[in-house]
Amino acid sequence: MALRSFPFAGAMAKVLVVLSCVVFLAVRSKAEDACLGEKCQFNKFTKCTSICEPECKPVWKSLSGETVNCDKLTPRCKLMQHEWDSLYKKSRSGAPPKGGRRDTDGLYRPECHDDGVFKTKQCNDTLSTCWCVNSAGVRRTDRIPKDEDTGCNRLVNCFQIVVDFYVNKDHDDVKDEELLKQKIKQSFAKGFKLKPEQVQEVTLSDDGQVMVTISNKTTNPTDLGTVAYYVEKQFKDEKKLVDMDEKVFDLGKREAYVWYYDDEPPTMSMERITPGIIIIVVVVVLALIACVIVSVLVYKQSMKNRKENPYLGHELNEKLTTA
């Protein structure tokens, strides 16, 4: 009997293997379908995977394996980590186009607390330098060697940012100034998860310059550093704000700027000044010194002449009056 049942058992095993493969492929297909057409709205440096327990649903993870909530803004510190990881992976994936290079100046992988808040001290291991940042992750001290004390005792609060950009004064949506300001406020609140009261003021100058003042002086505010990071990316990639016509903006005149305001002034030295500005400052200082030296020499020569001939001035005056 055992010998006769063996072929039957073998056939059943084959059937089970086939059914298992069919189920696996069906589950895999559903898992892939869960990610199909889905996008992580607030973090493009993520990859979609699926969990099928019991139903398949998309789950977004960074390249380092962190699960990301795509319904919320990713904290700036975490977002910078994810961007760094993404760029690093791409740089290792293959050779760049001939003659090409990627601008990563100023980009580094920051140190974050578990909740996404920047650590007070940040370092660039490649350059072996460290510095202090504010709550928005913006450097507020000079870079110093890594083995020296930076004095980063606490995280200074960035209480306000101002977004500065230009609009096209000839566009119909810009001609109604009050309506434009209202649209900008709504766009910031919707696109960057801001509380309406955080957008404190929107101004429009005669030449089309818009200044949007955003504060964290409210209950449970959206983090300003995170908002600033998303604003910069939005203007760079989309060339506009959410729910607004791209032609409203005049980014050809100048790119959008973000200005940061801290509870305490930064402690920067001359290293923040560009070489061109430094040259201008040096030239002006040397010119002032030269003027002072020439003035002193002229004065000394004048006093010497007066001592040698005290009537020189009187004689010249008499000649002029009698002529």
Q: Evaluate if residue 23 carries a pLDDT over 50.
A: no
What mean pLDDT value characterizes the chain?
Answer: 80
pLDDT of residue 313: 47
Q: Evaluate if residue 26 carries a pLDDT over 70.
A: no
pLDDT of residue 87: 82
The SS3 assignment for 161 reads strand
pLDDT category, 50, cuts 50, 70, 90?
Answer: confident
Angle between helices 224-237 and 76-93 (to 10 degrees): 40
What span, in angstroms and rounded, lies between the C-alpha atoms of 75 and 80?
Answer: 9
Least-confidence region, from 25-39, 110-124, 134-148, 154-168 = 25-39
Q: Average pLDDT, stretch 107-132?
A: 91
**pLDDT tens digit sequence for 57-101:** 889 999 888 999 999 999 999 999 999 998 877 655 555 555 555
pLDDT of residue 169: 94
pLDDT of residue 27: 43
pLDDT of residue 274: 46
Return the CATH number of 157-272, one of 3.40.50, 3.30.70, 3.20.20, 3.30.450. 3.30.70
What span, in angstroms and rounded, lies between the C-alpha atoms of 155 and 160?
Answer: 15
Q: Let me know the angle formed at the C-alpha of 268 by 262 and 271, rounded to the nearest 5 degrees.
A: 140
Least-confidence region, from 28-32, 37-41, 113-117 = 28-32
What span, in angstroms and rounded, lies between the C-alpha atoms of 223 and 193?
Answer: 10
**pLDDT tens digit sequence for 243-271:** 999 999 999 999 999 999 999 988 887 55
CA-wise closest residue to 68 among 52, 89, 82: 82
pLDDT of residue 301: 72
pLDDT of residue 12: 63
pLDDT of residue 8: 57
pLDDT of residue 292: 77
For the record, the structure tokens of 309 come out as 């001939």
**pLDDT tens digit sequence for 276-301:** 444 444 555 666 777 778 777 777 77
pLDDT of residue 22: 44
Q: Average pLDDT, stretch 8-25?
A: 54
Q: Where are the domains of the chain?
A: 15-72, 157-272, 275-304
pLDDT of residue 97: 52
pLDDT category, 56, cuts 50, 70, 90?
Answer: confident
pLDDT category, 122, cuts 50, 70, 90?
Answer: very high
Q: What pairing do the DSSP bridges indicate for beta strands 67-68 and 129-132?
A: unpaired
Query: Where is pLDDT greater, at 15 or 292?
Result: 292
pLDDT of residue 288: 73
